[in-house]
Amino acid sequence: MDKGMKILVVDDFSTMRRIIRNLLRDLGLANADEADDGATALPMLKSGKYDFLITDWNMPIMEGIDLVRTIRADADLRELPILMVTAEARREQIVVAAEAGVNGYIVKPFNAQTLEAKVAKIFERLSAAA
Amino acid sequence: MAQPAKQVDSLALARRLVDAIEAGDSNHADDLIKALHDGRFDALYQEIGKLTRDVHDTFANLAGDERLVCLAQRHMPDARERLRYVVEKTEEAADRTLTAVEHMIPMSDKLVHQAVALRALMPSEGLALHGQLHTFFDLVEHDGRALRNSLTEVLMAQEYQDLTGQVIKRTIDLVGQVEGKLVELVSACGVVSGAALVGATPSASSFGPAVREDGRLADVDELLANLGF
């Protein structure tokens, strides 16, 4: 995992964006930007050369799940690793997220260890597949 | 158990019908069948009439009920405003906490790093207070790390703002929907009168925190200033 990788954190609650960025900083991942919903995130992703996306599901204007689908359908963005961090905990929703193409899924509330483990797992899998 | 009057009438009619059929009086039998049939529908029409009257009275009472107008046009928007206030205030509190935590985390890191660096520079012997210094560095390193973990815990606890905020936002939407339907109902009853609204006052004797800061709190500040406080 490249500690200098560029990360976009998308959540409509600024508190959660700050929490995630702080936790990422603890993991040595300090190069992170924020967006408050999918519609704001998408142009940033298209122009910003991000290496990793962490997104919420339930957001106004463009939901996280639609952002994931849009990314997976985009020729330039389709390979972007995505971690979904959301309060949506129903089994069928997790299945929908998996089908949409997320690389990891964390149910809120969560803790620092969970984030560390899930991020590590995503990049281990990606490097094994490469 | 006594039989209801209508049932007794029907039974009497039915017996007479049997008699008429047995007597071969078909004209009278036809009349009796019609009487039985009409009796049943009369009861039905009476019930429908009663229900219609009840519905009419209910709507008429609704139309005269200022509380409903007040609820739809004042209390429910006020409830939504109060819930929005809760979201705003918890977000502010969580942000303040996060700012403080973000300020403290590098401080605790620095303390630990400096203690580790200083201990490495210490001569292995001959230094006054050697033992005490080691004990102190142990303390700084141990407690510094514990402090760091606790700060992360405080950081994570602010997650409540997102979770409760989502629940409250959904509740605001729900109240908004009910309010919309109530306004439609009140409008359908044709009672939205300005006079009713002006006369209506909230029933609560206390109002809780001022949720519209720019308005009410500014008034309070002005009032306090006027009073010389």
Amino acid at residue number B185: L
pLDDT interval class at B195 (50, 70, 90): very low
- Above 70 in pLDDT, residue B162? yes
Q: Residue type at B4?
A: P
Q: Do A19 and B158 touch (CB under 8 A)?
A: yes
Residues of chain B whose C-beta is under 8 A from some C-beta in A? 91, 94-95, 98, 101-102, 105, 152, 155-156, 158-163, 165-166
pLDDT at A70 over 90: yes
Residue of A nearest to B158 (CA): A15
> Nearest CA to CA, how far is B217 from chain A (Å)?
26
Q: Quick one: angle between helices A64-72 and A91-100, nearest 10?
A: 30
Q: Mean pLDDT lowest for which of A29-43, B24-38, B157-171, B202-216?
A: B202-216
* pLDDT tens profile A76-104: 999 999 999 999 888 889 999 999 999 99
In chain B, what residues touch A19 (CB-CB under 8 Å)? 98, 155-156, 158-159
The pLDDT tens digits for B31-59 are 888 888 887 788 888 888 888 888 877 77
Q: Judge: B166–A26 Cβ closer than 8 Å, yes or no.
A: no
**C-alpha distance from B222 to closest chain A C-alpha (Å):** 33
Mean pLDDT to the nearest integer, B154-183:
93
Tens digits of residue pLDDT in B141-160: 999 999 999 999 999 999 99
Q: Are B174 and B110 in contact (CB under 8 A)?
A: no
Average pLDDT over chain B, rounded to whole?
A: 82
Confidence of residue B222 (pLDDT cuts 50, 70, 90): low
Q: Which of chain B's residues have a Cβ under 8 Å away from the Cβ of A18?
A: 95, 98, 102, 158
**Interface contact flag, B159 A23, Cβ < 8 Å:** no
pLDDT at residue B197, as a whole number = 44
Chosen from B87, B102, B159, B168 to mutate, greatest number of chain A CBs within 10 A? B159
* Least confident interval from A14-18, B103-107, B177-181, B194-198: B194-198
Spell out which residues of chain A touch residue B98, defining contact as CB-CB under 8 Å.
15, 18-19, 22
Interface test with A, best of B92, B99, B162 (most A CBs within 10 A): B162
Is the pLDDT reported for residue B24 higher than 60?
A: yes
pTM: 0.70
CA distance B178 to B105: 46
Looking at residue B194, its pLDDT comes to 46
B chain contacts of residue A34, beta-carbon cutoff 8 Å:
none
User: What does the pLDDT read at residue B4?
Assistant: 61
A30 touches chain B (CB under 8 A): no
pLDDT at position A65, please? 96
What pLDDT does B165 receive? 93
DSSP β-ladder status, A32-35 and A52-55: unpaired
pLDDT tens column, B109-134: 999 999 999 999 988 777 788 889 99
The confidence score (pLDDT) of residue B198 equals 41
Cβ density class B55-93: b for 16+ within 10 Å, e for less: eeeeeeeebeeeebbbbbbebbebbbeebebbbeebbee
Which of A7-16, A39-48, B205-214 is predicted with the least confidence, judged by mean pLDDT?
A: B205-214
Contacts of A87 in chain B (CB under 8 A): 162-163, 166
Strand, coil or helix: A24: helix
pLDDT value of position B127: 78
Q: Check residue B218 and give its pLDDT.
A: 58
Give pLDDT, residue B196.
47
Residues linked to residue A8 through DSSP beta bridges, in sequence order = A33, A53
- Distance CA(B7)–CA(B47), nearest Å, equals 16
Is a pLDDT exceeding 70 seen at residue B223? no
Cβ–Cβ < 8 Å for A47, A19: no
ipTM confidence score: 0.79
